[in-house]
Chains A and B, each alone.
Chain A
């Protein structure tokens, strides 16, 4: 239920945006989830439904997913994160802290752990819309 903490963060961020933009009701929230963190969208959606405050009563949540792309800083090789090739304990560590990918994953071409997570890391709040 680590997703619960992330759902709370999304709602807190959306609520702050709504206050700043003087929105009385938030109608839609769009979030992008990076594959690296392997967030369970069912749990996230359940958490949203359980947590949402009054101004999010009728909010529609849109959840997009994004492939995780890694780029080696040494040889320039680019590759996709492949969960199925990893030990479950490693998958779980990366789920909690995606940067632990640097502990366990190496560039398939040159074996360097010095790579960049170019996209698909974690949760991003893409869009918040509402009515004033």
Chain B
């Protein structure tokens, strides 16, 4: 008995130029904010962009993006709505903002279902907001999506970096391409994370300062794009993407 859904996934993604998973070993480092802002800044550079929230049990990109009332359409599968110029898909459309407790096998099934039935337009970038850690979502993406690349987010905290290091080592062992590491919420001038990143033979692709004002920009595209975070991410896209 075979699951036919996995056979169609790469066909569904074949017209997407780059598929970038924004990931971290640790939660609370700003993955969702960075993934959403990255999608918006690329879109402002006239790239065709999709944003896919794979953090099924704790989704938040819909709040950051300000998804309003747009809904996916059923048309030979699911066609994602376009929000602020970005094609957007999230489990949130099917769970009415209610808690959705999922164990490992359920998480894999949702991921496979959404990858198998979502019909993205031809895109320059599909940005994926990942759940924290090195569990099902990371392993399934490596197993199922041929051209997946990972962009790792950490904070200056050694606690965060220790889990990021484990994730980076795992991805290297699995020969999964890593674009590099972003240091988010930086408050001092220490080079500690940069040095440790370079020891892992990975690119340190930028630092983003801690911005207490960003909370006011949640759900407001214009405000979000005027934050220091967006400016820094725009610089990163020019240099690295």
Contacts and interface: CB of A to CB of B under 8 A. Distances in A.
Interface of A: 1-2, 4-6, 8-10, 12-17, 31-32, 89, 93, 96-100, 102-104, 113-114, 117, 121-126
B95 interface: yes
A32 B1 contact: yes
Interface stretch (B4-12, B36-44, B154-162): B4-12
Interface stretch (B112-120, B189-197, B202-210): B112-120
B123 to A, nearest CB: 18
Nearest to A29: B4
Nearest to B108: A99
A1 B3 CA distance: 20
Given A102-B100, A113-B101, A124-B2, A1 B94 contact: no
A97 B7 contact: no
12 contacts: A5-B76, A5-B116, A6-B4, A9-B4, A9-B7, A103-B94, A103-B96, A103-B98, A103-B100, A117-B106, A122-B113, A125-B1
Contact of B109 (A32, A99, A104, A125): A99
A72 B191 CA distance: 51
B178 to A, nearest CB: 29
Contacts of A15: 7
Interface residues of B, number: 32
Consensus secondary structure, chain A interface: helix
Contacts of B11: 8, 12
Contacts of B212: none
A98 to B, nearest CB: 7
Nearest to A124: B1
Given A1-B76, A100-B94, A103-B95, A12 B100 contact: no
A125 B7 CA distance: 11
B174 interface: no
A15 B96 CA distance: 37
Interface of B: 1-8, 11, 74-78, 91, 94-96, 98-103, 106, 109-110, 113-114, 116-117, 119
A123 B5 contact: yes
Given A9-B116, A102-B102, A114-B101, A125 B74 contact: no
Contacts of B2: 13, 17, 124-125
A51 to B, nearest CB: 10
Contact of A125 (B4, B78, B113): B4
A28 B103 CA distance: 35
Contacts of B114: 97
A4 B75 CA distance: 8
A39 B2 CA distance: 18
A97 B113 contact: yes
A8 B78 contact: no
B101 A12 contact: no
B78 A96 contact: yes
Contacts of B102: 99, 102
- Ranked nearest first, the 7 interchain pairs of A and B with the lowest CB-CB distance are A5-B77, A13-B4, A13-B7, A4-B76, A9-B8, A12-B7, A5-B117
Contact of A100 (B3, B75, B76, B95): B95
A2 B95 CA distance: 18
Contacts of B96: 89, 93, 103
Given A17-B2, A113-B101, A121 B109 contact: yes
